Chain A
Amino acid sequence: GDSVTQMEGPVTLSEEAFLTINCTYTATGYPSLFWYVQYPGEGLQLLLKATKADDKGSNKGFEATYRKETTSFHLEKGSVQVSDSAVYFCALSEKTSYDKVIFGPGTSLSVIP
């Protein structure tokens, strides 16, 4: 079945460091890919998405490119801030007989000043 794998956390970075959170997926067809972010005490919110191969999603300085050949959707940011501290979830959605979103386990990021 479909699945999403993310790098294990927690990740701790200094402010202005470069961030990469790896995400790979397994799917039977052509899924849409998402990154959601969960700030402390809140629900998840969409950070960015890509709906087809080679699409690049971007938002708030974060980017991820849909790589079909490597089945990956790695999240990157050039310079993280303390306010980026949160849990990041990679997810896929594939319309088969129904629509279901499958989330990865989440990667906790702490950015220290």
Chain B
Amino acid sequence: DSGVTQTPKHLITATGQRVTLRCSPRSGDLSVYWYQQSLDQGLQFLIQYYNGEERAKGNILERFSAQQFPDLHSELNLSSLELGDSALYFCASSVEWEPHNEQFFGPGTRLTVL
């Protein structure tokens, strides 16, 4: 158990809908990362937050957004969903943002768009 929790574990929805994925980092970790893992794209970095502020953006679509709240939990919002958004979404956390810091991954949320 990494100490990172993600909810829900599974999510099935229809095209055009909007969903929210939630992540609680390990106690004391200030940095939260979101990743998308799909068979054809592999593991793609989406976005990083540090202590409530956006730190880095990766391959995140404009239909997707995220935020980190004062209690450090984070939410990833996916809107106007398309079939291709079906994937495993991971959240990870780390203590700070030093490059040698280990990232601790949650178990993921499996999103299926029908």
Contact B100 A49 (CB under 8 A): yes
Q: Which single residue of chain B is at the shortest CB-CB distance from A43? A: B105
List A contacts of B102 (CB < 8 A): 34, 46, 49
Indicate with 1 or 0, residue by residue over B41-73, a CB within 8 angstroms of chain A CB atoms. Answer: 011010010000001101000000000000000
Contacts of B33 in A (CB 8 A): 101
Complex contacts, A34 vs chain B, CB 8 Å: 102
Neighbouring B residues of A51 by C-beta, 8 Å? 100
Task: Decide if A43 touches B42 in the complex (CB within 8 Å).
Answer: no
What is the interface of chain A mostly: helix, strand, loop, or mixed? Answer: strand
- Cβ–Cβ contact A100 & B43, under 8 A: no
Q: Contacts of B90 on A, CB cut-off 8 Å?
A: 43-44
8 Å CB interface, A83-100 against B: 89, 93-95, 98-100
A99 to B42, CA, bound (A): 20
Contacts A43-B107, A44-B105; A100 near B98 (Cβ below 8 A): no
Q: In the complex, which residues of chain A have a beta carbon less than 8 angstroms from the beta carbon of B107?
A: 42-43
Residues in A whose Cβ lies below 8 Å from that of B92: 43-44
Asked if B105 contacts A98 (CB within 8 A), the reply is: no
Shortest CB distance A101–B (Å): 6
Chain A interface residue count, CB cutoff 8 Å, equals 23
Least distance between B29 CB and chain A CB atoms (Å): 13
* Per-residue interface assignment for chain A, residues 40 to 67, with 1 indicating a CB less than 8 Å from any chain B CB and 0 otherwise: 0011111001010000000000000000
B25 touches A (CB below 8 Å): no
B94 vs chain A, min Cβ distance (A)? 8
B99 at the A interface (CB under 8 A) = yes
The 6 lowest CB-CB distance pairs between A and B, nearest first, are A43-B105, A93-B99, A99-B97, A98-B56, A32-B100, A95-B99
5 sampled A-B residue pairs with Cβ under 8 A: A32-B99, A44-B105, A46-B103, A51-B100, A101-B33
Kindly list 17 other residue pairs between chains A and B, CB separation below 8 angstroms, not including A98-B56, A100-B58, A101-B33: A34-B102, A43-B4, A43-B106, A43-B107, A45-B105, A46-B102, A46-B104, A49-B100, A89-B43, A95-B97, A98-B97, A100-B45, A100-B48, A100-B56, A101-B103, A105-B43, A106-B42
